[in-house]
Amino acid sequence: MAETATLPQFPDVPAGTVPEGTPPDVAAAIALGLTADEYALVVEQMGRNPTQVELAMFSLMWSEHCSYKHSKKLLGTLPTEGESLVLGPGENAGAVQAANGWIAAFKVESHNHPSAVEPFQGAATGVGGILRDIFALGARPVAVLDALRFGEPQDSERSRFLLDGAVSGIGHYGNLIGVPNIGGDLYFEGPYETNCLVNAMAIGLVRKETMMFSAAKGVGNALVVFGASTGRDGIGGASVLASAELGEDDADKRPTVQVGDPFEEKKVMECSLELLERGLIVSLQDCGAAGLTSAASEMASKGEVGLDVDVALVPLREDGLEPFEIMVSESQERMLCVAAPDKLDEVLAVCAKWEVYGSAFGQVTDTQRFRIFDGGTLVGDMPVPALVDDCPMYDIYPEKPTSSLYPAPPRRIADDATPGEILKALLASPNLADRTPLFQQYDQMVQSRTVRRPGTAGAAVLAIPDAADRLAPHEIHAAEIGAAPGFEGDHNHDPESARPGIAASIDGSGRRVAADPYAGTIWNVLECASNLATVGARPLGLTNNLNFGNPEKPAIAWQLTESIKGLGDACRALDVPVVGGNVSLYNEGTTGPIYPTPVIGMVGELPDSRTTAPLGFANDGDVVAGVGFSFPQIPLSELSKLRGGEIPDGLPGWDLAVARETIEAVRDAVRRGDLSSCTDVAEGGMAVAITESAIAGGKGVTLDLRGGVGMDREDWKERLAQEGKSLATDEEILFGEAPANFIVSGTPDALAQLGESVWVRNLGVVGGDRVSITCGDLALDESLEDLTAAWSGGLKPYFP
Amino acid sequence: MSVRFGVVRFPGTCDEIDALRACAAVGDAELLWHGDADLKDVDVVVIPGGFSYGDYLRVGALARFSPVMGEVVKFAESGGAVLGICNGFQILAESGLLPGALLPNLSLRFVCREVDLVVGTDRTPFTSGFDVGETIEVPAKHRCGRFYVPDDQLAELKANDQVLFRYADGHNPNGSVDDIAGVCNVAGNVAGLMPHPEHAVDALMGSLDGLRMFASAAGRAGVAA
């Protein structure tokens, strides 16, 4: 019989007792990030001046980072219903129904300012934080993706430093904890020079019966903090660092950046999953921004209960921490759980098994008050709703700026560059070049689920296990027939042995949103859905990270308002619910605001992950076709950027119904196994999309982009006329960019079938070792070897 | 009688479930806990990849002192079959069961990619199902995988037929001496390699070649061919 752990004991303090300590003044509140008006509101809510602990906790809970006080009203307009939805916004992550009874939980979060101040630890702890959100739901994390934005590395030592540091940090954390990094997107643009973006997305798998929520339950139950000890790192991270603009003297803010230990997180993760598997706890929550303050008050708020906690029982990594420091510390790798008193022994034994701290430091009460004790002394006593719900919400005052907020990028090529020179310059440019130097620093195959990895297809694909958590066919066969079969592979495509999967993509070019926050955001959503379609996946849900500048400025407020409107319209048009997200504001450095950057993460389902079209051309003689109707744009293109072009004011609207039609037709063709290859047309236009498929497949092509079969379809001309356009120019067709267009290859019959539902133009055939393209008066003819060299060398210099 | 595999789990191990699945495909398999000095009478011990004890101090340096490793050493010395993969290889090298050391990659960066391996010897339980000189495809992923031994020991390794695998031409991801990807002890019962056969057990994920190593150890050589 094990020794019985004791519940924490709290003195019997009558309600209304004023906590110990001299209350700080309004100047202290302002130093912590509250406004004078907000401080007055706190005093009103409390009926007295708050103590030091209380003021520190209010300043964090009422920060932009925790309260969304400038964005909550807008976020309420997003669609959050869908047939596959399991869990919408409000919990640690959203969740959708995947195959075989598995639920996919996923979320994206930013760690921008910490990464701009200290890129390795900032990015590493960004990964750590998003992983905790996933396993707090009881889901085992199965994938990480990331969206990274830096200044232009050709020009800037600082950007190279930030890039190298952030990539190393992401790899360090994800690799060590054993979660594969399966994709991401990466852009280099001047406005990110002093305020880089590091957004990390994680996906986890969970069964409905082991899903866990954060609401604290059961008056008299114990509140346990487990994982790492608590130190002085990350104090004020959510308020002082995350909710203010960056300035010149930000080296001073380094102590607000947390230091991560992925080994600790690995143990905490396994410990959490074992606690859940054994049914020992009734709620679980991660400690992220604002540490114990945010985690515990959210638990109390959701459970509509109160909490008493004793900071003297929190395991510390150094002596002499003040109660307020313990309550606001952002030390990483900590979790909170609630357990019934008779399960406490076992909970602490599981913590001991995984060699992490575990301490029952609090108790659930029925008071709806959050009381903080330091041993026998009451040091804080606040109503939970005041902390969590009563932060004032602010209106923002959008106003479209009269001129562009952003300078033109530096010119990189001459106006008279030939199409071949342009193509090579595009392929070698950091926004388009081969991402292998990054991706190979990440473990992409741990857990053995990764069917499609970065660089092999338009989106990442993970196999979903069967209901008994068996992944590979031999496991299933072995169980069924009682012996291992011959391992001849799994080329049997009968539907009985289908291997369902999920696909994931993360996308979000900021430049197009800078040109037109509404249409640009729609484009980002369409790009994400297009990427899923290339592997045959249907979107189940969407998460987003809205990275913007200071919303108190009218121009930024306008960007944010228009962008959220576009996000909502795109989601409704595609029938994809928003399952959660994150908002990162005040992304402004010494060089002005960042490009408005709504990063979109999507998870989709595919019935059989054996039929996913690869990126690369596969067979000599296959027909190459362009699919899709969106009219290609030059003013916003990568070509225009290389020419030093200004960002245009506004983009044409995209016909969302046609875009959806195209995306779904391509997805269905991939699912039928009809396409030998498939990619969407993104940066660099058709010429680059074609070349990327040629490089990935190691096969050349000979194409005529104007002369192809299907070029003269009357309905296309009618549609163009409706949009008030004549035919596209040669340059627009070659290098112009637009959403929901694809380059596919396959047999003539397969392409004819695809052409029954959407516009398909046969452009030529796969074969040879040259990429040879004509388009009206323009032509290029380059060896695959030269193109590959240009593409694969673009990022190498930055990872020596 | 089915062969029984034990897969060791340390705090920080990442690939134990992958290895367990690979073993279970060809025999019976269970996890062994680092804190228990008990191998549960298994026939084959697999020490999988990951970052035992966070790679603190030096890769594999702390794991060798855990209670289970004392038993693994005894088991190996009595002729038991032991396979170390990646961090497992590093631990076996630290424990003195395998020669050489695994140094940081020449690039000083983590590297994850498919590599081709050439089979060096078929006299271990894990390579008996292969032909010497055969090329197989298995992924590699590590930051400290550069195999190193001094020249005189390298000559000895070769003389004793202890080279388990070499990276094929152009596939050496880390600067290992003589392109060595894995080695075995003189007796041939203990083997270690940096690449990950447990991730190459399903055609859907790219390769089935890794499963043949486990099949070999299970005495099922040839089944996979």
Q: With CA atoms as reference, report the closest residue to A462 among A475, A471, A452, A447.
A: A452
Which token pair is A772? 């040879």
Residue that the structure tokens 């673009």 belong to: A794
Q: Which amino acid is at A284?
A: L
Which token pair is B189? 């019962």
In chain B, the residue whose alpha carbon lies closest to the alpha carbon of A173 is B54
Tens of pLDDT, residues B103-158: 999 999 999 999 999 999 999 999 999 999 999 999 999 999 999 999 999 999 99
Of B14, B26, B212, the CB nearest to A446: B14
Q: Do B110 and A177 lie within an 8 Å CB cutoff? A: no
Task: From chain A, pick out residues whose CB is under 8 angstroms from the CB of B198.
Answer: 448
Sorted by sequence, the CB contacts under 8 Å of residue B151 that are 6+ apart come out as none
Start-to-end CA distance of chain A, whole Å, equals 59
Tens of pLDDT, residues A84-116: 999 999 888 999 999 999 999 999 999 999 899
pLDDT for res A472: 75
**A·B CB contacts under 8 A:** 122
Binned at pLDDT 50, 70 and 90, residue A480 comes out as: very low
The percent of residues above 90 in pLDDT, for chain B, comes to 92
pLDDT for res A490: 41
Binned at pLDDT 50, 70 and 90, residue A711 comes out as: low
Between helices A52-61 and A291-303, what is the axis angle to 10°? 70
3-state SS of chain B: helix, strand, coil percent to 5? 30, 30, 45
CB A478 within 8 A of CB A205: no
Between helices A52-61 and A36-46, what is the axis angle to 10°? 120
In chain B, the residue whose alpha carbon lies closest to the alpha carbon of A444 is B112
3-state SS of chain A: helix, strand, coil percent to 5? 35, 20, 40
Residue B117, classified by CB atoms within 10 Å of its CB into exposed (0-12), middle (13-18) or buried (19+), is buried
Annotated catalytic residues of B are 86, 196, 198
In chain B, the residue whose alpha carbon lies closest to the alpha carbon of A446 is B15
Q: Do B110 and A261 lie within an 8 Å CB cutoff? A: no
Residue A203 — φ and ψ, nearest 5°?
-125, 140
CA gap A469, A742 in Å, rounded? 35
Q: Do B199 and A475 lie within an 8 Å CB cutoff? A: no
What size, in residues, is chain B?
225
Q: Do B196 and A445 lie within an 8 Å CB cutoff? A: yes
In the predicted model, what is the mean pLDDT of residues B92-106? 97
pLDDT of A492 over the 60 cut: no
Which token pair is A129? 């934080």
CB A654 within 8 A of CB A521: no
CA gap B177, B145 in Å, rounded? 11
In chain B, the residue whose alpha carbon lies closest to the alpha carbon of A490 is B203
CA gap A655, A20 in Å, rounded? 63
CB A385 within 8 A of CB A303: no
pLDDT for res A256: 63
pLDDT for res B225: 32
B192-211 CB burial, b ≥16 within 10 A, e <16: bbbbbbbbbbbbbbbbbbbb
In chain B, the residue whose alpha carbon lies closest to the alpha carbon of A447 is B18
CB A195 within 8 A of CB A267: no
CA gap B108, A695 in Å, rounded? 28
CA distance A444 to chain B (A): 7
Q: Do B21 and A471 lie within an 8 Å CB cutoff? A: yes
CB A190 within 8 A of CB A407: yes
In chain B, the residue whose alpha carbon lies closest to the alpha carbon of A464 is B204
The percent of residues above 70 in pLDDT, for chain A, comes to 92
Binned at pLDDT 50, 70 and 90, residue A708 comes out as: low
Between helices A685-697 and A784-792, what is the axis angle to 10°? 100
Task: From residue B150, give the alpha-carbon distance in Å to each of B93, B178, B184, B216.
Answer: 14, 11, 16, 31
B interface residues, A as partner, C-beta within 8 Å: 11-15, 17-18, 21, 24-26, 50-51, 53-56, 109-113, 139, 141, 143, 196, 198-199, 201-205, 208, 211-212, 215, 220, 223-224
Task: From chain A, pick out residues whose CB is under 8 angstroms from the CB of B52.
Answer: none
Pairing of strands A742-746, A623-627: antiparallel
Q: Do A445 and B205 lie within an 8 Å CB cutoff? A: yes
CA distance B24 to chain A (A): 7
On average, the pLDDT of chain A sits at 91
Which token pair is A462? 């993970």
Measured over the CA atoms of residue A405, residue A408, residue A410 and residue A413, the dihedral's sign is positive
Q: With CA atoms as reference, report the closest residue to B98 among B164, B166, B142.
A: B164
Q: With CA atoms as reference, report the closest residue to A693 among A751, A773, A615.
A: A615
Sorted by sequence, the CB contacts under 8 Å of residue A25 that are 6+ apart come out as none
Annotated catalytic residues of A are 65, 111
In the predicted model, what is the mean pLDDT of residues A760-777? 95
DSSP A203-242: EEEEEGGG-------STTPEEEEEES-B-STTTTIIIIIT
Task: From residue A303, give the alpha-carbon distance in Å to each of A78, A151, A461.
Answer: 25, 44, 37
pLDDT for res A728: 78
CB A429 within 8 A of CB A638: yes
Q: With CA atoms as reference, report the closest residue to A663 among A629, A636, A631.
A: A629
Which token pair is B223? 């089944």
Q: Do B110 and A442 lie within an 8 Å CB cutoff? A: yes
Q: With CA atoms as reference, report the closest residue to A307 among A288, A321, A291, A293.
A: A293
Which residues are registered as beta bridge partners of B7?
Answer: B31, B46
Tens of pLDDT, residues A536-585: 999 999 999 999 999 999 999 999 999 999 999 999 999 999 999 999 99
DSSP B89-130: HHHHHHTTSS-SEEEPPTTSS-EEEEEEEEE--S-STTTTTS
Q: Do B223 and A472 lie within an 8 Å CB cutoff? A: no
Task: From chain A, pick out residues whose CB is under 8 angstroms from the CB of B12.
Answer: 176, 263, 266-267
pLDDT of A246 over the 70 cut: no
**Domains parsed from chain A with CATH numbers:** 613-800 (3.90.650.10)
CB B157 within 8 A of CB B166: no
Q: Which amino acid is at A274?
A: E
pLDDT for res A707: 72
Task: From chain A, pick out residues whose CB is under 8 angstroms from the CB of B205.
Answer: 445, 448-451, 463
Between A82-91, A291-300, B92-101, the lowest mean confidence (pLDDT) is in A82-91
Selected for mutation to probe chain B from A333, A443, A456 (highest B CB count within 10 Å) is: A443
- Where in chain B are the domains? 4-217
Task: From chain B, pick out residues whose CB is under 8 angstroms from the CB of A443.
Answer: 14, 110, 112, 141
Of B13, B141, B199, the CB nearest to A448: B199
pLDDT of A479 over the 70 cut: no
CA gap A207, A472 in Å, rounded? 19
pLDDT for res A236: 63
In the predicted model, what is the mean pLDDT of residues B43-66? 95
pLDDT of A413 over the 50 cut: yes
pLDDT of A2 over the 50 cut: no
Of B18, B199, B223, the CB nearest to A487: B223
pLDDT for res A729: 87
Binned at pLDDT 50, 70 and 90, residue A402 comes out as: very high
On average, the pLDDT of chain B sits at 94
Q: Cα angle at A26 between A21 and A32, to 5 degrees?
A: 85
The percent of residues above 70 in pLDDT, for chain B, comes to 97
Binned at pLDDT 50, 70 and 90, residue A476 comes out as: low
Of B25, B109, B139, the CB nearest to A474: B25
Q: How far is CA A454 from the centre of its chain?
A: 16
Q: Does domain B4-217 have CATH number 3.40.50.880?
A: yes
In the predicted model, what is the mean pLDDT of residues B200-222? 86
CA gap B44, B29 in Å, rounded? 9
Residue that the structure tokens 């900071």 belong to: A311
In chain B, the residue whose alpha carbon lies closest to the alpha carbon of A269 is B12
CA gap A240, A540 in Å, rounded? 36
Selected for mutation to probe chain A from B110, B208, B212, B216 (highest A CB count within 10 Å) is: B110
Which token pair is A237? 């991270």
Q: Do B12 and A447 lie within an 8 Å CB cutoff? A: no
CA gap A195, A590 in Å, rounded? 9
Which token pair is A154? 């050709």
Sorted by sequence, the CB contacts under 8 Å of residue A277 that are 6+ apart come out as A210
Give SS3 for A536: coil
CA gap A513, A526 in Å, rounded? 13
CB A141 within 8 A of CB A202: yes
pLDDT for res A250: 59
Tens of pLDDT, residues A622-638: 999 999 877 888 999 99
